Amino acid sequence: MMQVFQSLFSPGDELVIPVPTWPNIMEVTNIVGGTVVPVAYDIDGDGNVTLDLDRLFGAVTAKTKAIAINSPANPTGWVMPLDDMIALRDFARKRGIWLIADEVYAHFVYEMPAPTPSFLQICEPDERLMVTNTFSKNWCMTGWRSGWVIFPTGMSKLFDRLSQYNTTSTPTFIQRGCIAALDQGDDFIKMQVERCRHSCEIFYQALRELPNVTVYKPKGSFYMWFAVDGVTGGYELAVRVLKEKSVGIAPGSAFGPGGERFLRLCFAIDPALAEEAVERLVPILRAA
């Protein structure tokens, strides 16, 4: 992701992005001298996280360099519908701006076929589109820091230089692990997704039964976004849960504007561990 922003942004350029979102993308924007323009998600009448495209498009100015979309999304679990992807592509074409698509959770969906639609399927090879992905999620290789970016034709030399001076090269043993993941890892992905599906249900059913908790069932990723009535500072509650119950949840304030009263939990764990976490978590949330 760092190399994507180094390749595109100059000081003063703007990034339009739905929030709350993965904090690194906001910080990378700041590092290259850009400005983040946040557009808040909505909640529909059925309790689903949604994105108003008119408001997203309305946030674009003459300074906008790119719109970034993380779908499935961290931390909300939102998944962008294909029709909205096409509408966004058409808008970006008309305005001559870039799309940055973070598709790292594409296999982790629970109400639709996997993987989710990719912008690569609806864009041309020379389109102003950057698609990022990683070995971290699908194959549990988070510490290996290996991934890839798909960029338009004609940018290979630029990315050669960026890779050389950012990372030099990926260590050989990591490359071999990545090859093994691509060649032999499909069944592992399916196992991971089913495990997440089971653990998601455990957490969701437990939280939705608490009258003082509002929880949004994720359509994708492996995160659950929720709020506790009367709690305006998710950070303080997250610290309390960690200290008193040894359960790690993330404060929503880490994910940008609008996240302050929320919390995010990760359900990419064994269902038995999810059951234990629920036993610890529910009493303290009920009493919060």
Q: Give the CATH number of the domain where residue 203 resides.
A: 3.90.1150.10
Contact (CB, 8 A) for 77 and 223: yes
CA atoms within a 13 Å half-sphere pointing along the CA-CB vector of 113 = 3
Residues 77 and 68: their CA atoms lie apart, in Å, by 16
Which domain-ending residue is among 184, 205, 221? 184
Neighbouring C-beta atoms of residue 32, cutoff 10 Å? 18
pLDDT band at 103 (very low <50, low <70, confident <90, very high): very high
Residues 9 and 84 in one domain: yes
Which domain-ending residue is among 166, 184, 202? 184
Residue 199: give the domain boundaries.
187-286
Residues 74 and 264: their CA atoms lie apart, in Å, by 9
- Res 7 pLDDT > 90: yes
Residues 179 and 78 in one domain: yes
- The string of DSSP letters for 195-255 reads HHHHHHHHHHHHHHT-TTEEEE--SBSSEEEEEETT---HHHHHHHHHHHH----EEGGGG
Contact (CB, 8 A) for 227 and 261: yes
pLDDT band at 9 (very low <50, low <70, confident <90, very high): very high
Amino acid 156: pLDDT: 95
The number of domains in the chain is 2
**CATH classification at residue 126:** 3.40.640.10
Residues 1 and 259: their CA atoms lie apart, in Å, by 23
Residues 7 and 81 in one domain: yes
**What integer is the mean pLDDT of 221-236?**
95
Residues 173 and 235 in one domain: no
Residues 275 and 159 in one domain: no
Amino acid 136: pLDDT: 96
* Tokens coding 254: 């880490």
Residues 67 and 209 in one domain: no
pLDDT band at 45 (very low <50, low <70, confident <90, very high): confident
Residues 286 and 77: their CA atoms lie apart, in Å, by 23
Which domain-ending residue is among 184, 208, 234? 184
Q: Which pTM value belongs to this model?
A: 0.95
Residues 37 and 94 in one domain: yes
Residues 166 and 218 in one domain: no
Residues 141 and 13 in one domain: yes
Residues 172 and 220 in one domain: no
Residues 96 and 10 in one domain: yes
CA atoms within a 13 Å half-sphere pointing along the CA-CB vector of 15 = 28
Please give the radius of gyration of the chain, using alpha carbons only, rounded to the nearest integer.
Answer: 19
- Res 224 pLDDT > 90: yes
Residues 150 and 198 in one domain: no
